[in-house]
Each structure stands twice: as C-alpha cells, then as structure tokens.
Structure 1
Amino acid sequence: MMEIHDPELMMLKYKQENQSFKHNENKNSLSKVFEHSFFELAFRPFFIFGTTASMLSLAIWILQLNNIVILNQTGLTPTVWHIHEMIFGFAATVAVGFILTAGKTWTKQPSITGKSLVLLSVLWLSVRTAIYINTNTSIAIAIVLQMLWWFVSIVVFVSMVYRSKNKRNYLFIPLLSAMMIMNLTILLADMLSFTQLAMHLSRASILLFTILMGIMGGRVIPFFTQNGAKTDAIVSPLWIDKLLLPASITGIFVFILGFFISLPFTPAPLMLLSGGLHLIRLSFWKSTKTLPIPLLWSLHLSYLFMALGLILLGLSYFDLTFINMPFSNALHMITIGAIGLMVFAMMSRVSLGHTGRALVLNKALILAFILLILTVLIRTILPLFNIIQLAWNLSALLWISSSLIFIFIYSPILFAKRIN
C-alpha cells in the first residue's frame, strides 16, 4: 500500500520532535546547573556573591561620595543603603553560607544543595537587584524576598540541628532570627521615612554581628590555633564566657532602647566591659604562636580589632582629651578590621578545607590581609586629622583590591569539584 506524505503533517511532526528535543536539552542544561560543584554547599555561592556584592556596593558608594554617581534616593537613603549592603549584602551573606556549611559537619545531617541552593541563590540575587534599583516599590519587593531568603536559610539550619539534637548549636537559631528581624526592620523603617531609626538599627546590627563573631571566634580560633600552631590546650576562664554574652546582649538592648526613651545612662559601660572581656579572652589564646601562620594571625588580629572597636565605641560617649575617636570611626574599626578581616580569613580557610585542599594560604591572600589592615587604619585614623575624602577613597580602593584578590584566587576553587 502506497504511503501518502502530507507536507503539513510532516512539518507538524518535525516541529513536535524539535520542540521535544529543545525541551530535553533545556532540562539537561538545568540539571547540569543544579548538579554543578558550585551548588554543592552553601559556602561556595555565598562566599562569591557576598564578596562581589561588597565590591560593587562600595564602588557605588564611593562614586556617590565623589558626586560621580547619584544613587536613586526614592527607596533607601544612601547611608542606610551603604551600611545595609556591607552588613547584610556582604557579612551576613557569608556568615549564613558558612553556618549552613558548618552545620552539616556539626550535625552530620544534609544541608541545602543542588536545586534548592540554586533557588536560594536566585532569591538572594533578586534581593540585591531590587535594592540596587532602590525605589519604594523595589524596596518593598526586597523586603518580601529578603524575608523568604532568611526564612529558608533558618529553616534549613533548624532542621539540621533539631534532627541531630545538636543542642550546642541551638544558640545560632535566635541569633540568626534576630539578624533577620533587624535586617527587615531597617529596610521597612527607611522605606517609611523613619531614617534616623533605620540608621540607629543599622549601627545596632553591627553590634549584633559582634555577638556572632564572639561566639564563632570563641569556638574556632582557639581550636584552629591549637591544631595549626601545635600549642598546648587553649582554655580561657569560664567566667569570661559566662559574662560576655549577657554583657553584649544587654549593651545592644540599652543602645536600641536609648533611641526611643531618655535613659539615665548610656551603653558605654557595657561596651567597655564587652571589649575588655574580649581582650582578656584573647590574652589566653597564645596569639604570638600564630605569627608565622597567616590563616591564624589574621583571625587573632580581627578579634583584637573587635575588642578595641568596642572599647573605642564606649570611650566615644565620654569627653576625653587624650582620645577623641568619633563613634563612626570606632564603628569602622569593627566593620573593616573585625568583621572584614575575620570574614576574609574564614572564607580563605573554609574554601580550602571544605574542598579537600591543604590549609596552605596563597601568598596573594597575605597581601589581601595586609591591604585590609591598611584599610581599617586609614579609615579610622586619617579622619582624626580632617583628611576625610582621601580616607574614604583610599580605604574603598584597598577594600576592593582585597576583594578582587580573593575572587581571583578562590573562584577556580569554589567552582571546581572537591579534590578528594
């Protein structure tokens, strides 16, 4: 029997086969993305994203300060935008990436990976896009998306620690929740034109981050030092740990409360106490033994900057003749010297350890650490001599240079498969 070839039917069949092929091709492409090493664990994308965000937002900020670029001000006010992106776009992003990764080690439970991590990454990128557009509407969208990002991240961590009954790390749940609330409240307050409140809470978020650093640093720095520098057991007095957390929490509470009501006292004594306790704690950690090891001395130095920053914040409340560092300068000692240096030191270490590589730091990263140290000194000291514009420009340039070094050295590592 002769087969009749209908040209229209043949064309229709060809189109269907072509569409099916394209569908399968797209499906395979997505599967390759979901299964890529970059989305194996949360530290990989969020270390790269956070570092890139710090460079981009700081570049925009410094161009704004030099009147080269004018940031859209219908959303967040420029200063709130700057603080928000450096704390939440950079530091908190990296911290969450680390905690979701370390949580797998702590609990022996699976963490977020693959398709779920891709979607969480897209959510994070959507938040950044909305905040960079910076209109009232885009900030409203950012608030919703940011809430979802925090919610998913916290739920993933909660599921890990609860399934394993890992009570030692329950402490991170209220801490991450407090950071989420602070983040969303800052955005909402500034969007509703409560700019002074948003500014005050932005500063409080930096103090909140010192609690995270105190907890995390108090655990890992002695452990890393003991193993890396081959020291005797490092144990700080128990009374320090018992005093530090209540003093830090109370200090933040008093700092925030002081915005709403007139108090007969300032948070200065609590800031001085917290900084002093951190200094005493650090004195037990055998810091001099770490001098030949950049992955260790960078952590010790960042902890020292945190202690000194808190002390200088406390002293800024007093009219002292021998030291007169403004609150903002002292705050930058914490944001750059403590948070910045510790974040880069931890990223450098974690990126090696969690990809199966030896803990041997590339010499270029030593330069990055030195540039960060110069950054904090320039940003905190030069303004005391009324050298303000140069301090802004030079410190921004050095930070961006440090970030570029990290991206250049660690991108190939974070995109590649684990080597063992």
Structure 2
Amino acid sequence: MTEFEKQYASRHYLYYPKGDFPVYLAYGFRPIFLLLAPYIVLSIVLWAFVFAGYINLPIENTLNWHIYEMIFGVGTAMIVAFFLTGLPELFPSVVPIVGKKLAYIVAWWVLGRFSFWFIDYFGVLFVGFINVSLMAYISYLAAIPAFKDRNKKHVSLAYSMVSIVLVQILFFVSEAKIVELDSFKVLILSLSLMLVLILLALRRVSMESINELLEQENIDETFLAKSFRYNLAIFCLLLYGFVEFFFPANSTLAYICFACGAAILGILNDFVLKDNNILFKPFVLYIISIILLTSIGFFFLGFNYLLELNVTNHFRHFLTTGTFGMVFYVIMIIVSTIHTGRAIFTNLALTFGLILIIISTFIRAFIPFYLEYSMVLYILSSILWAIPFIIYMKTFFPFLLKPRADGIKG
C-alpha cells in the first residue's frame, strides 16, 4: 500500500474507539457480511424449493415473505453495513460503532429475520416493530451528521432512508389490516425506493473505489460520479414507483420505464474520462454491469407495458434478481477489499460469479415463455444466483476474519 493510500485510510479512522475488539466486530461490515452471504444462499435456494412445492414454510403468504426478505431482509443488512462502514468516511468526526454495540445491532437484524420467518406466530405488529425500529435507528444515525454538515452534501441519504422506513411501516399496517391496502403493491413501491438508495450508495462507492483504482494504477485523473445524472435517474425512478402504485393501469408507465432506462444508461457517461479509457477495466466493468442490467430491466418493463405482454412481475426480476443481486455481490466485494486494507483486484472466480447472476436474471425473467419447464428453471436460476455468494464466502471470509492488511484498526 502506498503512503497516500495509508493516509487516505487513516483519515477515516481518526475517531476509532480505544480498546481491543474481536476482528469480526472491528467494523460494521465484518459481522454483517459474515452472516449475510450464507443467509442469501439459504433464502434463495429455500424459496426455489418452496415455490416448486417441495418444502412448506410456516407462513401463510409465502410470496410476500419472499419479496420482503429479498427487499428488506437482505436489503436491511446491506443498509446497516453501508452506513456503519460509510458514515465515518462521509463524516470523519463520526465514531465507528464496533464491539458490543455492533454485536447488538447485528443481533437486532437476526431477530428481525427470525421473527419474520415466524410472523404467523409472533404477530404482524410485533414483527413490524422489530424490523422497522432497526431501520429507524439506522436512519437516525445517518440523519444526525447529514443535517449537521454545513454543506448538506449527503442529506439525500437521510431522506431516502426516511422514505424506506415509512413504506416499511405501510407494509406492516397493511398486513395487519389497519389500513385497507394491498401489501403486495406496497412491496413493489418499496422496490423503487430501494433502487433510489442503491443509486445514491453506488455513486459514493464507485467514486471511492474507482479513484482508489486509478491511484493504484498511477493514472493521474479523477473519476467523478456527476450528481445531475443520478438525480435525473432518481426522479424517473420515483415517478415510476408512484405512478405504478396509484395508477397501475396507466398507459404512460411504458414511457416512464423507457425514461428510467435511458436516464440510468446515461450514468455510463461518467466512466468516459478525458484522457484515459477505463470502461473495459475488469473492476470497472463490475460497476458498469449493474447500471447496464438495471437499464435493460426498465426497457423490458417498458415494452411489457407498451405491448401488453402481462409479464410485469417476471420482467421485474431484472431489478430484483439482477440489480439487487449484482449490487449485493459487487458492493460486498468492494467493501471487503478496500476496508480490509487490500488493493482492489478481480479474478476469474469473481467474474464468473457476476456472469452467473446475469444468466440467472435472464432465466428468471423469461420463464413465462417456457412454462413447461418453469419449476426446473426456477430451481436452476436460484442455484445459479446463489453460487456467486458461495464464491464470495470462499474468497473474502479469510479477509473478514483477519485484521486489516495495512495494520490500521478496523
């Protein structure tokens, strides 16, 4: 590691708590990723066999369970890891949460998953309180430094978190029949709000990681993820989410989807640097793949509405199986590399994992056109989707269970 990189890393750990902490509790991402990767594998493979009718779960509405666990169950873990790891970077005066306090937060997430799996026994309101309160707490942690910051550079993250907490509350009150609302529709709205947070997070993660890569390769240029491109994409996402929620049969949805696809595709312009071509660097391709697949997903959704194909929920897998899967996978790789003090790298196994997520996405999206093979394709796509996270475990668990390679705490 160069002297510059050491100084850059140290800058984020100025307020690291004093004391000795177990390695797996030395920074927010470590225990989350150690639990999340196997949980992703378990959840998706289990769902495939539940959907195929080979396994029964003690849950009345298994479809809502599956969607919620993919959006909020796995999504909450990624949000916790992102904010607990990122806040000390975005706001250097923030004290990292480590040790016992971090263990309590991780246990809180585990309790949320356990309670939701047995929601029919614990009751909707109790399970809702456990799950919503964790998201509300993370929102609180994000909002304090964001609003204290004079420049308000990262306040959009706090607003995004508040919207996710509100829609999560709406899901549980609709499940409890406190309000007469289709909880499935609420989950679909939450997908758009989660995609907004993903774009906000991806902008920051890509700037940090790609600039570190440029420094690593002695390229004297700076990568900037320009806010106006992301803001346009976010506006289109919000428009799509709310129009679909309130006016699901509106014919303009096709054109709003095309607008989403075009706006997200426009983000790729950031990757065209003035003096250097980084588009085809293996690591950069990981991030570009997320943007491309998300854009493709909205284009397919647009054609679905335009041609009245009636396969909306299947094409939506481009955004769930595809975007969510690739974001989880790529961000876990980036964070587990940079924040364990190692140089950014790619290899054939990691790239193979990314390709499997893409293949799995297309299989899942086009199942309606091969209904005679639907059960086999569901199980196959789930297994293919799970393999990348097994590859992640084999590659990065040794990093997560060892101190930082550069000797810095965390």
Smaller-chain TM-score range?
0.7 to 0.9
CA distance in 2, matches of 1:358, 1:124: 30
Specify the code of the residue in structure 2 equivalent to 1:398: L
Say if 1:369 and 1:402, in contact at 8 Å, map to a contact too. Answer: yes
Specify the code of the residue in structure 2 equivalent to 1:97: A
- SS of 1:318's partner is helix
Structure 1 portions without partners, runs of 5+: 1-32
Deviation sequence 1:381-409 (CA, Å, 0-9, x none) = 34323332222111111122222221222
State whether structure 2 residue 75 is matched by structure 1 residue 91.
Answer: yes
CA distance in 1, matches of 2:375, 2:250: 37
Q: Which residue of 2 aligns with 1:28?
A: none
From the superposition, tell whether residues 325 and 279 of structure 1 become closer, same or farther in structure 2 (CA, over 3 Å).
farther
- Taking structure 2 as the reference length, the TM-score comes to 0.83
CA distance in 2, matches of 1:369, 1:359: 16
Say if 1:36 and 1:114, in contact at 8 Å, map to a contact too. Answer: yes
**Matches of residues 8-407 of structure 1 in structure 2 within 5 Å?**
35-74=21-60, 77-108=61-92, 109-165=94-150, 167-192=152-177, 197-221=182-206, 224-225=209-210, 228=213, 230=219, 233=222, 240-258=229-247, 265-286=251-272, 289-293=278-282, 295-319=283-307, 324=309, 326-386=311-371, 387-407=373-393
- SS of 1:316's partner is helix
Displacement of 1:245: 2.8
Displacement of 1:41: 2.0
From the superposition, tell whether residues 194 and 389 of structure 1 become closer, same or farther in structure 2 (CA, over 3 Å).
farther
CA distance in 2, matches of 1:72, 1:413: 36
Computed over aligned residues only, the root mean square deviation of the Cα atoms, in angstroms, reads 2.8
From the superposition, tell whether residues 195 and 203 of structure 1 become closer, same or farther in structure 2 (CA, over 3 Å).
farther
Displacement of 1:305: 0.7
Say if 2:363 and 2:381, in contact at 8 Å, map to a contact too. Answer: yes
From the superposition, tell whether residues 181 and 48 of structure 1 become closer, same or farther in structure 2 (CA, over 3 Å).
farther
Query: Across the two proteins, how many residue pairs are aligned to each other?
Result: 379
Displacement of 1:353: 0.6
- SS of 1:135's partner is helix
- Taking structure 1 as the reference length, the TM-score comes to 0.81
CA distance in 1, matches of 2:397, 2:375: 32
Structure 2 portions without partners, runs of 5+: 1-18
Displacement of 1:37: 1.9
From the superposition, tell whether residues 391 and 257 of structure 1 become closer, same or farther in structure 2 (CA, over 3 Å).
same
Deviation sequence 1:242-279 (CA, Å, 0-9, x none) = 533333222222222226xxx76543322221211111
Q: Which residue of 2 aligns with 1:414?
A: 400
Displacement of 1:177: 1.4
Say if 1:299 and 1:345, in contact at 8 Å, map to a contact too. Answer: yes
Q: Which residue of 1 aligns with 2:13?
A: none
CA distance in 1, matches of 2:398, 2:124: 34
Deviation sequence 1:330-363 (CA, Å, 0-9, x none) = 2111112212112211110111111111212354
- After TM superposition, the structure 1 stretch with the greater mean CA deviation from structure 2, 230-239 or 356-365, is 230-239
CA distance in 1, matches of 2:280, 2:232: 29
From the superposition, tell whether residues 352 and 186 of structure 1 become closer, same or farther in structure 2 (CA, over 3 Å).
same
CA distance in 1, matches of 2:251, 2:306: 12
Displacement of 1:170: 0.9
CA distance in 2, matches of 1:357, 1:181: 38
Say if 1:316 and 1:325, in contact at 8 Å, map to a contact too. Answer: yes
CA distance in 2, matches of 1:297, 1:340: 15
**Identical amino acids, percent of aligned pairs:** 20
Displacement of 1:376: 1.1
CA distance in 1, matches of 2:82, 2:128: 23
From the superposition, tell whether residues 174 and 102 of structure 1 become closer, same or farther in structure 2 (CA, over 3 Å).
same
Displacement of 1:138: 4.3
CA distance in 2, matches of 1:272, 1:38: 44
- After TM superposition, the structure 1 stretch with the greater mean CA deviation from structure 2, 277-286 or 233-242, is 233-242
